[in-house]
Chains A and B, each alone.
Chain A
């Protein structure tokens, strides 16, 4: 196969999947958030939860639509651009995608209709249940997609006959060595990504002095969640890395830009990795730091890039730089959570201008971390598409390079328009803010649980002081 074809097909896949992942990364978390807020509304009967849920549901609808249409593209792209891949690993990977459609797509797509249009048509419990079904669907979808991707990273439970992979043990295929770590890492990443969007919107309203009830709820929920989950993500990510060290040592070597495996690894903070010269330029490193992190021993050894022939190595720079971007953002997230909780503790969360100003601008950091993380894991798997089974270069369809180039250009134009307008419209929805009055919904179904005025006032006093229960 011609070089151009492979490069173009890869560029097209990288582009369409990077575009796609933005939306699931957001909607997995957002659907869970909406379901949570709706359950809180059912339990407490407080109207601002309902306004909050309706507000985020509108944003969810826009994001979900973009996620759906860009996801359909991917399910056909395996065939259009990667037909050899479809045949060689189809017996193993395709059923996982099939299960995704059956367990997740139908669930989320069908109940989305109730979630969006059922506000006045169905009783509240059914509406809340639909939101939960959508949230469950999005997570289930992630389960199967990550099972398929993890199998491509660390294949198990199969045998290869005449160059084609055949399944032997479905349990081993689904729960392949890297799957539990990747699934936990990605799901947590999705939740964190959404938390930072919620945080930003809440902070934006507080700065502007609008929608204060909703804004405080958003801020408290986001800060509380980030403070707990961002540090947890560091632990999950570390475990994921140790798992990768066992199963894909060359990927770790690329991440650490570690060339010579006979010496302990330095923790390279910055460098310019040079694939040809097999060394790093302009390196700033903590001596033996990588060995300490990966082996918990400053003299510990781990495989270097030189342990495999150049043809079996991934390009070092993408994994190296993307990993640093991801981890850097991870630490920013941890700091954001801890500072937020500290301010909350002192009762200053809602009036510390600099924190709110920063938070209101930081909605995008989760998305960048997610894309960086995927860049690490996908480029680090190269030159394999399915590790040890099929090389990327042997996977493409017999389609002329020009056809792929034209379709790539069309994808860039169409996605560019759709994405720009989508962001613009989501921003417009945020600018409008949560609307509606207490009496407006639900028009039918269960009445809201009335709260006495005194109780309501008491709640407000509690939330105004903002001090968490000890």
Chain B
């Protein structure tokens, strides 16, 4: 019990974060691609393609943050102060972007400002999330179980690179989502953008994959020591194959496959980062066991999660099924 509860929780939070990144990823991606909408009508359609889902998607972020606090209060108490600035920037960006979903429809003369808020909020939130990820991977200065660094420790070229990478990644998810959910000029535009974005995303993935082992010996050790090298070699190979498949699918006009390929790319990249960091929750010092909550607390919430998460996934899936198919002009409640 003492041993496996933290592992289960780490896996659960990992799943919640993966859900978040993919689900809010595509709707943040819509915001990032918003400037590519040719006119207000196209932008309306782009927004309507995600409008019924965005609120639910963002709930995974609360589950990720809340789950971290539930299961690993020590890690939560170190990570949040250490990444204070990007976390606050992300939250403020999400505020602007979230209200833009509603305000934009009511606004008349100020509509262009809410378009801007939606775009800037989405980009900034994505960038800040990438910086948070990078800040975590590169490690946090911890002393006696508490954050012991400065307010700008996270500000490194590597973290900024991760920020840009995530913006590109979310844009790819958004573009392939539009390929799936829209028709006509928007879909054609998105298809062209998605092809460009695959190249950009693969470039970023390669950069992060080379940077991390070269800059952090523990990560080099993980990937390039024998026999790990042989076990882990399939990950970059499969990543390359998936990227190629996505490219081909886009080129031959497939509508659904590119989106799922984009998801697969995200999951593979995510898996790579998990392998690099395991078993640390706060690299390079705090493991999942050191930061775990009291076993009774972990167990109490785990029981509820085991019962409630399948129910949530059921009705969550139901909503996606309900709003299946293409979004058409003028659809919405406004």
Name A residues whose Cβ lies closer than 8 Å to a Cβ of B: 54, 57-58, 61-62, 64-66, 68-73, 75-76, 78-80, 83-84, 86-87, 90-92, 94-95, 97-103, 105-107, 109-114, 116-119, 121-122, 166-167, 170, 397-400, 402-403, 407, 410-411, 414-415, 418, 421-422, 425, 428-429
Q: How long is the Cα–Cα vector from A317 to B305 in the complex, in angstroms?
A: 43
Report the minimum CB–CB distance from B63 to chain A (whole Å): 5
A72 and B52 contact, CB distance less than 8 A: no
- Of the candidate stretches B67-75, B242-250, B276-284, the one touching chain A is B67-75
CB within 8 A of A112: which of B55, B84, B332? B55
B interface: dominant SS: helix
Q: Known interface pairs A98-B304, A113-B319, A397-B80. Does A69 touch B147 (Cβ–Cβ under 8 Å)?
A: no
Can you list, as one digit per residue, whether each of B36-58 has a CB less than 8 Å from chain A (1) or not (0)? 00000000000000011101101
For the complex with contacts A87-B74, A97-B69, A398-B147, 11 further pairs of A-B residues with Cβ separation under 8 Å are A65-B101, A90-B76, A90-B297, A95-B297, A98-B305, A102-B309, A113-B51, A117-B332, A122-B322, A399-B151, A418-B95
CB within 8 A of A101: which of B66, B88, B92? B66
B103 and A410 contact, CB distance less than 8 A: no
Q: Which residues of A contact B305 (CB under 8 A)?
A: 98, 102
Q: Known interface pairs A91-B297, A94-B293, A167-B300. Does A101 touch B102 (Cβ–Cβ under 8 Å)?
A: no
Instruction: Pull 30 A–B residue pairs with CB atoms less than 8 Å apart, ordered by A.
Output: A57-B333, A65-B98, A65-B101, A65-B102, A68-B98, A69-B98, A72-B91, A75-B66, A80-B87, A83-B76, A84-B77, A86-B77, A90-B293, A90-B297, A91-B73, A94-B66, A95-B70, A95-B297, A101-B62, A102-B312, A109-B56, A110-B55, A110-B56, A110-B319, A114-B52, A166-B297, A167-B297, A167-B300, A397-B77, A399-B151
Report the minimum CB–CB distance from A92 to chain B (whole Å): 7
B55 and A102 contact, CB distance less than 8 A: no
**Interface hits, B281-328 → A, CB 8 Å:** 293-294, 296-297, 300-301, 304-305, 308-309, 312, 315-316, 319, 322-323
A61 and B102 contact, CB distance less than 8 A: yes
Report the minimum CB–CB distance from B70 to chain A (whole Å): 4
CB within 8 A of B69: which of A65, A94, A397? A94
Report the minimum CB–CB distance from A351 to chain B (whole Å): 32
CB within 8 A of A79: which of B80, B107, B110, B309? B80
Q: Known interface pairs A110-B316, A399-B151. Does A76 touch B87 (Cβ–Cβ under 8 Å)?
A: yes
Interface assignment of B228: CB less than 8 Å from any CB of chain A: no
Q: Which residues of B contact A411 (CB under 8 A)?
A: 92
Interface residues on B, range: 35 or more
Q: How long is the Cα–Cα vector from A64 to B300 in the complex, in angstroms?
A: 30
Q: Which residues of B contact A78 (CB under 8 A)?
A: 69, 76, 80
Report the minimum CB–CB distance from A406 to chain B (whole Å): 9
B301 and A99 contact, CB distance less than 8 A: yes
A117 and B65 contact, CB distance less than 8 A: no
A425 and B106 contact, CB distance less than 8 A: yes
A113 and B56 contact, CB distance less than 8 A: yes
Q: How long is the Cα–Cα vector from A122 to B98 in the complex, in angstroms?
A: 25
B77 and A421 contact, CB distance less than 8 A: no
Q: How long is the Cα–Cα vector from A86 to B69 in the complex, in angstroms?
A: 7
Report the minimum CB–CB distance from B260 to chain A (whole Å): 22
Q: Known interface pairs A76-B87, A95-B70, A403-B151. Does A83 touch B80 (Cβ–Cβ under 8 Å)?
A: yes
Q: How long is the Cα–Cα vector from A70 to B98 in the complex, in angstroms?
A: 10
Closest B residue, CB atoms, query A428: B106
